[in-house]
Amino acid sequence: MAELKIYNSLTRQKEVFVPITPGYAGMYVCGPTVYSDVHLGNCRTFISFDVIFRYLKYLGYRVRYVRNITDAGHLEGDRDEGDDKFSKKARLEQVEPMEIVQKYTIGFHQVMKLFNNLPPNIEPAATGHILEQIEMIKHILKNGYAYEVDGTVYFDVEKYDKEKPYGVLTNRKLEELLEGTRDLGGQDEKKGRLDFALWIKARPEHLMQWPSPWGMGFPGWHIECSAMSEKYLGKKFDIHGGGMDLAATHHTNEIAQSEACYNVNPANYWIHTNMLTVNGARMSKSAGNGFLPGELFSGDHPLLEKAYSPMTVRFFMLQTHYRSTLDFSNEALQAAEKGLKRLWEAFRNLDRLYRQSDQFPAVASDSETENRCLEWIAGFDASMNDDFNTAKVLANMFELAPVINGLKGGQLSRDKISKATLELLYRQFNTYLTDVLGLTEDKDVDNGRLDKVLQLLVEIRKEARQRKDFSMSDKIRNELQQQGIILKDEKGGGVSWSIE
């Protein structure tokens, strides 16, 4: 197997990926909080991990990819206070909290599909794993790293830090972290400023609550990922991922919980994706600067100059390495749209050349072109092995495009590269474009043009009928039908069409 290097946030280094079980990779990624639509920033993170999932599979690993659904336990306040976001929304919309969960989970899946993200192997929901979370909290209490106050259970960060560094993931000392937090208020039940809730006592009006050894309540947000990753991937697994914004709190707390419970950091490699920004500010639900994918696909947003297809957006994201920030702009998306078109055009030309591969020699006449092509092709794997550098893979594809187009158009003689290299180029280009990068050709990009052409054909057919030239009008209808385009005569004399 090729040597894959992953930048591990835990050690702040690129490390060779050595799986716990040879040939198998377990990966857990923090999924969406389903009380509202996912925005494009969330999508960037899920697209990044989709490519990582795809690449691990390409390398031949059997992958178990677990991505959770957070459907309970997210409070409005940052100090384990305030209303649960699901309950608040449910009250606002006068529905059951699980109706909110269902609505946004379905929406999330639709968006993932539009972006051509593969579904994870397991998608566990927090509300389906209350028992596992309670068991884990009991264990942490038994080990002495948590305490209960009036039905709420807190993790004791300062006690834990005496034995293991709490800020290990972000390389911060406890003193620094303490400096950055507010003093406890007089009526606070917590012992320490950094303590966080594992279980939260529910007020009677709270809509989502479960019985526990500490009374009616609901789990804190962080415990769900610890409990569910352990259940489906074991106490120690290979990769844990999420957006960079999760490292300082959510993932730091996950590590503390697993260490306190099982004496182990749950993952060998911690991968964090960088943020999608708008005018330099992080796109987030709370900041209200989030584009919804639907707004992007329809162009219906004051900041958008036009609509962009899901594949344009996916491509735009993959042109930047996942650990760099990516700023949203119309110019960048329009450039991506053009770039992606050029890539598909090159691929279509390559496809035609591949079908004529017998015209290529066994030995290339020009070793320079041949070797350059081989280097660019080898660069696909080399770039992905270098911490999943999709930006470099795409740059190599753009280097190859003029060679492919030249061979197809005749500007470059076909004896310049060998048949074997052409076939390798075809296989790798195809595999990378569709399987590894997960791009599909946008059929809808040309829908506007197709509409105009169909309109024209409908006009011609109408004129033919007026002339009583029925053989012409039937011909148009039948030929279109063969292409899967169905014309339908409407009652008022208009004609509509549908594409099968």
Residue 257's H or E segment, with its range, is helix 252-262
> In the bound complex, what is the minimum distance in angstroms from residue 245's beta carbon to ligand AMP?
5
Among 19, 26, 32, 73, binds ligand AMP (CB under 6 A): 32
Contact 86, 19 (CB under 8 A): no
Reading the block at residue 105, the tokens are: 């989970």
Residue among 133 and 385 whose Cβ is closer to ligand AMP: 133
Residue among 275 and 480 whose Cβ is closer to ligand AMP: 275
Residue among 243 and 339 whose Cβ is closer to ligand AMP: 243
Reading the block at residue 240, the tokens are: 């844990």
Cα–Cα distance measured from residue 81 to residue 270, given in angstroms and rounded to the nearest whole number: 29
Could you tell me which stretch among 126-134, 223-231, 326-334, 458-466 binds Zn ion (CB under 5 A)?
Answer: 223-231
Q: Which residues contact 366 (CB under 8 A, 6 or more apart)?
A: 415, 416, 417
First to last CA, the chain: 43
> In the bound complex, what is the minimum distance in angstroms from residue 243's beta carbon to ligand AMP?
2
Q: Find which of Zn ion, ligand AMP, none residue 41 binds, CB within 5 to 8 Å per kind.
A: ligand AMP
Q: Find which of Zn ion, ligand AMP, none residue 107 binds, CB within 5 to 8 Å per kind.
A: none
Residue 26's H or E segment, with its range, is strand 24-29
Rule CB under 5 A: which of 27-66 touch Zn ion?
A: 30
Q: Find which of Zn ion, ligand AMP, none residue 225 binds, CB within 5 to 8 Å per kind.
A: Zn ion
Rule CB under 6 A: which of 272-291 touch ligand AMP?
A: 273, 275-276, 282-285
Number of residues that bind ligand AMP (CB under 6 A): 18
Q: Find which of Zn ion, ligand AMP, none residue 87 binds, CB within 5 to 8 Å per kind.
A: none
Q: Find which of Zn ion, ligand AMP, none residue 45 binds, CB within 5 to 8 Å per kind.
A: ligand AMP
Among 41, 124, 266, 339, binds ligand AMP (CB under 6 A): 41
Cα–Cα distance measured from residue 214 to residue 201, given in angstroms and rounded to the nearest whole number: 8
Cα–Cα distance measured from residue 82 to residue 80, given in angstroms and rounded to the nearest whole number: 7
Report the residue number whose CB is nearest to ligand AMP: 243
> In the bound complex, what is the minimum distance in angstroms from residue 29's beta carbon to ligand AMP?
7
Q: Find which of ligand AMP, Zn ion, none residue 32 binds, CB within 5 to 8 Å per kind.
A: ligand AMP
Residue among 100 and 487 whose Cβ is closer to ligand AMP: 100
Q: Find which of ligand AMP, Zn ion, none residue 436 binds, CB within 5 to 8 Å per kind.
A: none
Q: Find which of Zn ion, ligand AMP, none residue 51 binds, CB within 5 to 8 Å per kind.
A: none
> In the bound complex, what is the minimum distance in angstroms from residue 39's beta carbon to ligand AMP?
7
* Strand pairing report for 267-273 and 237-243: parallel
Q: Counting Cβ atoms within 10 Å, is residue 136 exposed (0-12), middle (13-18) or buried (19+)?
A: buried
Could you tell me which stretch among 240-248, 405-413, 434-442, 469-477 binds ligand AMP (CB under 6 A)?
Answer: 240-248
Among 8, 9, 45, 396, binds ligand AMP (CB under 6 A): 45
Contact 31, 67 (CB under 8 A): yes
Q: Find which of ligand AMP, Zn ion, none residue 258 binds, CB within 5 to 8 Å per kind.
A: none
* φ, ψ (nearest 5 deg) of residue 223: -70, -25
Q: Rounded to an integer, what is the distance from CA 414 to the centroid of its chain?
A: 40
* φ, ψ (nearest 5 deg) of residue 299: 80, 10
Examine residue 255 and tell whether it contacts Zn ion (CB under 5 A). Answer: no
Could you tell me which stretch among 97-105, 137-145, 202-210, 217-225 binds Zn ion (CB under 5 A)?
Answer: 217-225
Cα–Cα distance measured from residue 202 to residue 86, given in angstroms and rounded to the nearest whole number: 14
> In the bound complex, what is the minimum distance in angstroms from residue 389's beta carbon to ligand AMP?
18
Q: Find which of Zn ion, ligand AMP, none residue 73 binds, CB within 5 to 8 Å per kind.
A: none
Reading the block at residue 58, the tokens are: 């390409």
- Give the largest CA-CA distance in the chain: 92
Q: Which residues pair with 497 in a beta bridge?
A: 487
Residue among 30 and 194 whose Cβ is closer to ligand AMP: 30
Rule CB under 5 A: which of 5-34 touch Zn ion?
A: 30
Residue 197's H or E segment, with its range, is strand 196-201
Q: Rounded to an integer, what is the distance from CA 323 to the centroid of its chain?
A: 14
> In the bound complex, what is the minimum distance in angstroms from residue 225's beta carbon to Zn ion?
3
Residue 14's H or E segment, with its range, is strand 13-16
Q: Rounded to an integer, what is the distance from CA 219 to the centroid of its chain?
A: 26
Contact 24, 237 (CB under 8 A): no
Cα–Cα distance measured from residue 69 to residue 190, given in angstroms and rounded to the nearest whole number: 28
Residue among 32 and 379 whose Cβ is closer to Zn ion: 32
Q: Find which of ligand AMP, Zn ion, none residue 42 binds, CB within 5 to 8 Å per kind.
A: ligand AMP
Q: Find which of Zn ion, ligand AMP, none residue 33 binds, CB within 5 to 8 Å per kind.
A: ligand AMP
Cα–Cα distance measured from residue 44 to residue 50, given in angstroms and rounded to the nearest whole number: 10
* Strand pairing report for 13-16 and 5-8: antiparallel
Among 140, 153, 225, 384, binds Zn ion (CB under 5 A): 225
Number of residues that bind Zn ion (CB under 5 A): 2
Q: Which residues contact 396 (CB under 8 A, 6 or more apart)?
A: 376, 377, 379, 380, 383
Cα–Cα distance measured from residue 361 to residue 194, given in angstroms and rounded to the nearest whole number: 69
- Chain contacts with Zn ion (rule: CB under 5 A): 30, 225
- Chain contacts with ligand AMP (rule: CB under 6 A): 30, 32-33, 41-42, 44-45, 242-243, 245-246, 273, 275-276, 282-285
